[in-house]
Each structure stands twice: as structure tokens, then as C-alpha cells.
């Protein structure tokens, strides 16, 4: 397909395997964000204590999130990574309690470390969401393959310098996908990495052309919730970016998003409900 890889999948993948069950992605799903960090760009520190974390998780699940995405290290651009052992110490108590209370919820862990990956999968997590695409830990892609767990492959780049966004990101995905397949990973979800090594203009170009990445026949995750591409454009703050987020979610869905990664589950659920009705009548 591209000069830096070969893709052998020829059908549109509409599901992944979680908890030995088929998780259907033929209609859009929600990934609710649970930050256990002190310094996340939007809700850092709000849910860093154990009791706060559990209450927030319960709220997200009760609002109807399909996947709970737990992160213990801020992945905002410029944030300092924490060591794997510290991350494990923060995540495991929360993960174990959530799994106990909600045995059927799909749990994703936002981490860049293979050591964390092994620990969380051993304790009930289902998906690994790695914003680095395996760039920060040379063992990450191999570890995911060994564990046979779904993996969110994010496009990562240090600096926003592109000659051709679509070709360069496609080549990146092609290479990484083939590496993951070679290691034994069966279920891959693509994330264009909005905000990671992209200017505001880059982000909007990719959102508008997101559907072109369906060429890989893999589910697409869109993570734009309350990001700077919204609040900087509107000259406001992340706290006031919900309306802009909802507006852009409609375009993300129209342009092929299978999963929306969100801070605000109820509002995003409404977006999906309205979009599904719109799509139904658009196809008539």
C-alpha cells in the first residue's frame, strides 16, 4: 500500500475482542476519560485521590461510557512522564476496584510503558492506549503482541513539520501496523494524535480528512475533547470548550470516528444519538 509497509487486511474491521467477547464498533462508541493525574490539561488533580477516582469512574459508567480510559500520567504536550513503577502504584488500586464493581465494563489504560502494560492486563484491563505509538518504550509493541490485547496506535511526532500530512502519517501507520501484526497483535485502533506534534491548522486538516485513514480498514478513535485546537481557536479555556467539543464531535463522526474519547460522556452520548438518526435518514 505504502512504500514503508504492507497491509494485508482487505475488509473493514468493525469489532475488537475484549474479555473474550466481541466488542462491536459498527456504531460509534464512547471512551470516557478518568485522569488520576495532578497536571492534566483539563481536570488535573480533580480525581487523583482514590475515593475521587472511584466516584468519577462510577459517574462515567452510569452516564453510559462504553470504555473507561484510565491514565496516571499526563500525556499533554510538554508534560513530564512518570516512571512505570509510580504509574502502576497509582493505577492498580483504582483498576482493581472498578473491575470489582463493574465486571463487564471495558477498561483501557493510557500508558506508554510495557511494564505498566503487563501489570494492568494481569489485573483486569482490556485495552492499551499508547500515545507514543511505541516510541517511548522499545518493548511496548512486542509486549502488546505477546499479551494479545487490543492496542490504540497513536500517531506521534515531536515537531509539527510535514510535507504531506496524509502520506507521512499513513506511512507511519503502515510501518507500525505491520510491526504489531508481526508480533501477534490482532486488534488495532488508529488515533491520529490530535495535538501531538500538530499545529492547530494541522489538527483541523486531519479532522476534515480523517475518513481517508479508513484505507487501513481499522477502527478510528478521535480524541479532541476540550483540546487546545478548540479553546485556543475560540480564545477561551478548556473549562469553556464543551460547546466547541460537541460541535467538532459531529464532524469527527461524519468523518469516520468509531470511538470518541471524551471528558463529558452525557453530552457526547447525545451527539452520537443525534448522529445515528441523521445517518439513518441520510442513507435513505
Residue 44's CATH number: 3.20.20.20
Q: Answer yes or no: 280 catalytic.
A: no
CA–CA gap between residue 94 and residue 48 (Å, rounded): 10
Catalytic residue among 29, 142, 261, 269: 261
Structural domain including 145 reads: 26-282
Any domain includes 15: no
Is the alpha carbon torsion for 133, 136, 139, 140 positive or negative? negative
Instruction: Give yes or no for a contact between 31 and 260, defined as CB atoms under 8 angstroms apart.
Output: yes
Express each pLDDT in 50-80 by its tens digit. 888 999 999 999 999 999 999 988 766 666 7
**Is 190 among the domain residues?**
yes
Residue 13 located in a structural domain = no
Distance CA 18, CA 187 (A): 9
Residue 258 covered by a domain:
yes
| pLDDT above 50 (res 10) | no
CB 23 within 8 A of CB 106: yes
pTM for this predicted structure: 0.92
Residue with cell 505509538: 133
Q: In a 10 Å sphere around its CB, with 0-12 CB exposed, 13-18 middle and 19+ buried, how is residue 138 labelled? A: exposed
Report pLDDT for 47.
Answer: 52
Task: Identify the active-site residue in 29, 176, 227, 269.
Answer: 227
Does residue 106 fall inside a structural domain? yes
Q: How confident is the model at residue 3 (pLDDT cuts 50, 70, 90)?
A: very low
162, part of any domain = yes
Q: What's the rounded Cα separation, in Å, for the pair 46 and 28?
A: 28
- Residue 283 burial (CB count, 10 A): 6
Number of domain units in the chain: 1
- The rounded distance, in Å, linking the Cα atoms of 269 and 22 is 21
Q: Answer yes or no: 227 catalytic.
A: yes
What percent of the chain shows pLDDT beyond 90?
83
**Rounded Cα–Cα distance for residues 140 and 114 (Å):** 5
Task: Give a yes or no: residue 148 inside a domain.
Answer: yes
Residue with cell 509539527: 160
Degrees, nearest 5: CA angle 160-242-247: 75
Q: Which of 14, 4, 2 is nearest to 218 (CA)?
A: 14
Quick check: is 9 in a domain? Answer: no
To which residue does cell 443525534 refer?
Answer: 274
Amino acid at each position: 500500500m505504502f512504500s514503508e509497509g504492507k497491509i494485508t487486511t482487505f475488509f473493514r474491521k468493525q469489532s475488537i475482542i475484549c474479555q473474550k467477547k466481541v466488542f462491536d464498533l459498527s456504531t460509534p462508541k464512547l471512551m470516557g476519560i478518568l485522569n488520576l493525574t495532578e497536571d492534566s490539561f483539563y481536570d488535573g488533580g480533580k480525581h487523583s485521590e482514590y475515593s475521587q477516582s472511584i466516584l468519577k469512574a462510577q459517574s462515567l459508567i452510569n452516564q453510559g461510557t462504553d470504555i473507561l480510559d484510565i491514565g496516571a500520567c499526563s500525556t499533554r504536550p510538554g508534560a513530564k512522564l512518570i516512571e512505570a513503577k509510580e504509574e502502576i502504584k497509582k493505577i492498580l488500586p483504582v483498576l482493581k476496584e472498578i473491575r470489582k464493581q463493574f465486571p463487564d465494563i471495558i477498561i483501557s489504560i493510557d500508558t506508554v510503558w510495557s511494564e505498566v502494560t503487563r501489570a494492568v492486563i494481569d489485573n483486569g484491563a482490556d485495552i492499551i492506549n499508547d500515545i507514543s505509538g511505541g516510541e517511548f518504550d522499545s518493548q511496548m509493541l512486542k509486549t502488546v503482541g505477546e499479551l494479545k490485547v487490543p492496542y490504540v496506535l497513536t500517531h506521534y511526532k515531536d515537531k509539527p513539520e510535514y510535507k504531506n500530512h496524509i502520506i507521512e502519517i499513513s506511512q507511519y501507520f503502515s510501518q507500525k501496523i505491520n510491526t504489531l501484526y508481526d508480533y501477534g497483535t490482532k486488534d488495532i485502533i488508529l488515533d491520529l494524535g490530535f495535538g501531538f506534534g500538530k499545529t492547530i491548522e494541522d489538527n483541523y486538516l486531519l479532522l476534515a480528512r480523517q475518513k481517508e485513514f479508513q484505507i487501513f480498514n481499522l477502527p478510528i478513535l478521535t480524541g479532541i475533547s476540550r483540546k487546545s485546537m478548540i479553546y485556543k481557536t475560540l480564545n477561551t479555556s478548556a473549562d469553556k470548550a464543551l460547546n466547541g467539543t460537541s460541535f467538532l464531535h459531529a464532524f469527527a463522526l461524519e468523518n469516520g470516528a468509531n470511538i470518541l474519547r471524551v471528558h463529558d460522556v452525557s453530552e457526547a452520548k447525545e451527539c452520537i444519538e443525534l448522529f445515528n438518526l441523521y445517518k439513518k435518514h441520510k442513507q435513505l
